[in-house]
Amino acid sequence: MGTIALEGLEFFAYHGFYEEEQKMGNKYALDITIDTDFIQAAQQDRLSLTVNYSTLYQIAHKVMQEPSRLLEHIGFRVIEQIRVHYPDVAKIRVKVSKFNPPIGGVCTRAVITMEG
């Protein structure tokens, strides 16, 4: 068993509960961590026996292009799509960060972390 992670994926997207957020857009970051057995990939040096980083990025990119109201929904959809491509992974953790959220005060990021 091992861990594969993509950290600090950055996107500009049009998510948010408020209509103005969906029009103006904002900067978001995603961290994806997957627990999986990749011993055969390590032994045989074969990408087909593990999780492809590029596929993970493409999944995240696609999800970020589809507007959502909640960070939780983004996290859910990323996990759901990873499971479609990699049904045998043991655990998926997704951290979604929204920069400068409109909360009426100073806040660098709003963050949710979800496991599936």
To the query of whether residue 98 is one of the catalytic residues in this protein, the response is yes
Q: Which three-class secondary structure string do you get for 30-75? A: EEEEEEECCHHHHHHCCHHHCCCHHHHHHHHHHHHHCCCCCHHHHH
Burial of 50 from C-beta contacts in 10 A (0-12 / 13-18 / 19+): buried
| Count of the separate structural domains present in the chain | 1
pTM of the model: 0.95
pLDDT tens across 1-48, in order? 999 999 999 999 999 999 999 999 999 999 999 999 999 999 999 999
pLDDT tens across 40-94, in order? 999 999 999 999 999 999 999 999 999 999 999 999 999 999 999 999 999 999 9
Instruction: Give the CATH number, domain containing residue 99.
Output: 3.30.1130.10
Please give the residue range of the domain that contains residue 34: 2-115
Q: Which of 23, 91, 95, 98 is catalytic?
A: 98
Per-residue pLDDT, averaged over 87-103, amounts to 97
In 92-102, which positions are buried (b, 16+ CB within 10 angstroms) versus exposed (e)?
bbbbbbbeebe
